[in-house]
Amino acid sequence: MKTPYLYEIEVEWTKDREGLLRSENLQTLGVSSPPEFHGRAGIWTPEHLFVASVNACFMLTFQAIAAIEKLQYSKFKSFATGKLERGERSFLFTEITLKPQLAITTHEDIEKARGILEKAERKCLVSNSIKTSIILEAEISVEL
Protein backbone atom coordinates (compact mmCIF):
# COMPACT_ATOMS: atom_id res chain seq x y z
CA MET A 1 0.00 0.00 0.00
CA LYS A 2 1.24 3.47 -0.85
CA THR A 3 1.86 6.06 1.84
CA PRO A 4 -1.36 7.98 2.56
CA TYR A 5 -1.60 11.75 2.28
CA LEU A 6 -2.20 13.49 5.59
CA TYR A 7 -3.98 16.82 6.11
CA GLU A 8 -3.50 18.19 9.60
CA ILE A 9 -5.93 20.75 10.98
CA GLU A 10 -5.93 22.43 14.38
CA VAL A 11 -8.95 24.09 15.91
CA GLU A 12 -8.68 26.30 18.99
CA TRP A 13 -11.62 27.59 20.99
CA THR A 14 -11.54 31.39 21.38
CA LYS A 15 -14.86 32.35 23.02
CA ASP A 16 -18.52 31.37 23.22
CA ARG A 17 -19.11 29.00 20.29
CA GLU A 18 -16.24 30.28 18.18
CA GLY A 19 -12.75 29.15 17.32
CA LEU A 20 -9.90 29.36 14.86
CA LEU A 21 -8.96 26.75 12.27
CA ARG A 22 -5.29 26.51 11.41
CA SER A 23 -3.12 24.42 9.15
CA GLU A 24 0.50 24.91 8.21
CA ASN A 25 0.99 27.40 5.35
CA LEU A 26 -2.73 28.27 5.19
CA GLN A 27 -4.66 31.33 6.31
CA THR A 28 -6.30 31.05 9.71
CA LEU A 29 -10.07 30.81 9.44
CA GLY A 30 -12.60 31.78 12.09
CA VAL A 31 -15.39 29.27 12.70
CA SER A 32 -18.59 29.32 14.70
CA SER A 33 -21.79 27.40 15.16
CA PRO A 34 -24.48 28.75 12.84
CA PRO A 35 -26.89 31.26 14.40
CA GLU A 36 -29.67 28.64 14.45
CA PHE A 37 -27.44 26.62 16.79
CA HIS A 38 -26.49 29.57 19.05
CA GLY A 39 -23.47 30.73 17.07
CA ARG A 40 -22.61 34.11 15.61
CA ALA A 41 -23.65 35.18 12.11
CA GLY A 42 -21.04 36.19 9.56
CA ILE A 43 -18.51 33.46 10.40
CA TRP A 44 -17.84 30.23 8.50
CA THR A 45 -19.48 27.22 10.14
CA PRO A 46 -18.72 23.50 9.90
CA GLU A 47 -21.97 23.21 7.94
CA HIS A 48 -20.82 25.78 5.37
CA LEU A 49 -17.36 24.22 5.18
CA PHE A 50 -18.84 20.76 4.61
CA VAL A 51 -20.94 21.94 1.65
CA ALA A 52 -18.04 24.09 0.40
CA SER A 53 -15.72 21.07 0.44
CA VAL A 54 -18.05 19.12 -1.82
CA ASN A 55 -18.52 22.09 -4.18
CA ALA A 56 -14.80 22.96 -4.38
CA CYS A 57 -13.83 19.32 -4.92
CA PHE A 58 -16.45 19.02 -7.67
CA MET A 59 -15.02 22.09 -9.47
CA LEU A 60 -11.42 20.92 -9.20
CA THR A 61 -12.31 17.39 -10.33
CA PHE A 62 -14.21 18.88 -13.29
CA GLN A 63 -11.17 20.98 -14.24
CA ALA A 64 -8.86 17.95 -14.14
CA ILE A 65 -11.17 15.81 -16.28
CA ALA A 66 -11.90 18.69 -18.70
CA ALA A 67 -8.15 19.15 -19.22
CA ILE A 68 -7.67 15.44 -19.97
CA GLU A 69 -10.69 15.44 -22.32
CA LYS A 70 -9.58 18.75 -23.89
CA LEU A 71 -12.92 20.45 -23.27
CA GLN A 72 -12.77 24.15 -24.05
CA TYR A 73 -14.84 26.26 -21.65
CA SER A 74 -14.95 29.96 -20.84
CA LYS A 75 -16.81 29.97 -17.50
CA PHE A 76 -17.46 27.63 -14.61
CA LYS A 77 -19.46 28.55 -11.54
CA SER A 78 -21.22 26.17 -9.18
CA PHE A 79 -23.80 26.86 -6.50
CA ALA A 80 -24.28 24.24 -3.79
CA THR A 81 -27.07 23.77 -1.28
CA GLY A 82 -26.78 21.34 1.60
CA LYS A 83 -29.93 20.05 3.27
CA LEU A 84 -29.44 19.50 7.02
CA GLU A 85 -32.15 17.48 8.72
CA ARG A 86 -32.70 15.84 12.06
CA GLY A 87 -32.17 12.10 11.77
CA GLU A 88 -33.01 9.39 14.28
CA ARG A 89 -30.09 10.24 16.58
CA SER A 90 -28.74 13.61 15.44
CA PHE A 91 -28.62 16.15 12.62
CA LEU A 92 -27.10 15.08 9.33
CA PHE A 93 -26.78 16.32 5.78
CA THR A 94 -29.21 14.28 3.72
CA GLU A 95 -28.34 15.77 0.34
CA ILE A 96 -26.21 18.35 -1.40
CA THR A 97 -27.42 19.83 -4.67
CA LEU A 98 -24.73 21.07 -7.04
CA LYS A 99 -25.84 23.55 -9.69
CA PRO A 100 -22.87 24.16 -11.96
CA GLN A 101 -23.10 26.74 -14.70
CA LEU A 102 -20.71 25.94 -17.49
CA ALA A 103 -20.08 27.97 -20.63
CA ILE A 104 -18.43 26.08 -23.48
CA THR A 105 -17.15 27.43 -26.75
CA THR A 106 -18.88 25.17 -29.28
CA HIS A 107 -22.30 23.52 -29.69
CA GLU A 108 -20.64 20.23 -30.63
CA ASP A 109 -19.29 19.82 -27.08
CA ILE A 110 -22.61 19.99 -25.19
CA GLU A 111 -22.90 16.21 -24.63
CA LYS A 112 -19.18 15.93 -23.92
CA ALA A 113 -19.48 18.71 -21.32
CA ARG A 114 -22.49 17.06 -19.69
CA GLY A 115 -20.60 13.78 -19.50
CA ILE A 116 -17.58 15.45 -17.92
CA LEU A 117 -19.76 17.18 -15.32
CA GLU A 118 -21.41 13.88 -14.45
CA LYS A 119 -18.05 12.11 -14.26
CA ALA A 120 -16.67 14.88 -12.03
CA GLU A 121 -19.60 14.40 -9.64
CA ARG A 122 -18.94 10.63 -9.54
CA LYS A 123 -15.15 10.96 -9.16
CA CYS A 124 -14.99 13.78 -6.57
CA LEU A 125 -13.06 12.34 -3.63
CA VAL A 126 -15.01 14.37 -1.06
CA SER A 127 -18.36 13.20 -2.41
CA ASN A 128 -17.07 9.64 -2.43
CA SER A 129 -15.98 9.98 1.21
CA ILE A 130 -19.40 10.88 2.59
CA LYS A 131 -22.79 9.19 2.76
CA THR A 132 -24.79 12.31 1.78
CA SER A 133 -26.65 12.06 -1.52
CA ILE A 134 -25.27 14.39 -4.22
CA ILE A 135 -27.67 15.82 -6.80
CA LEU A 136 -26.28 17.40 -9.98
CA GLU A 137 -28.35 20.02 -11.81
CA ALA A 138 -26.06 21.30 -14.57
CA GLU A 139 -26.66 24.31 -16.79
CA ILE A 140 -24.55 24.41 -19.95
CA SER A 141 -24.44 27.32 -22.35
CA VAL A 142 -22.43 28.05 -25.47
CA GLU A 143 -20.44 31.26 -25.65
CA LEU A 144 -18.99 31.82 -29.09
Q: What is the pLDDT of residues 62-111, one digit of tens each?
A: 999 999 999 999 999 999 999 999 988 899 999 999 999 999 999 999 99
Does 72 share its domain with 115?
yes
In angstroms, the first-to-last Cα distance of the chain is 47
Considering the domain architecture, whether residues 32 and 74 belong to the same structural domain is answered as: no
Predicted TM-score of the model (pTM): 0.92
16-38 per-position pLDDT tens digit: 999 999 999 999 999 999 999 99
39 and 52 both lie in a single domain: no
Q: How far is CA 26 from CA 29, 36, 91, 106, 125, in A?
A: 9, 28, 30, 38, 21
Report CA Rg, the chain.
18
Domain count across the chain? 2
The confidence score (pLDDT) of residue 144 equals 82
What does the pLDDT look like over 96-110, one tens digit per residue?
Answer: 999 999 999 999 999
Q: Which residue range forms the structural domain that includes residue 96? A: 46-142
Q: Both 51 and 113 in a single domain?
A: yes
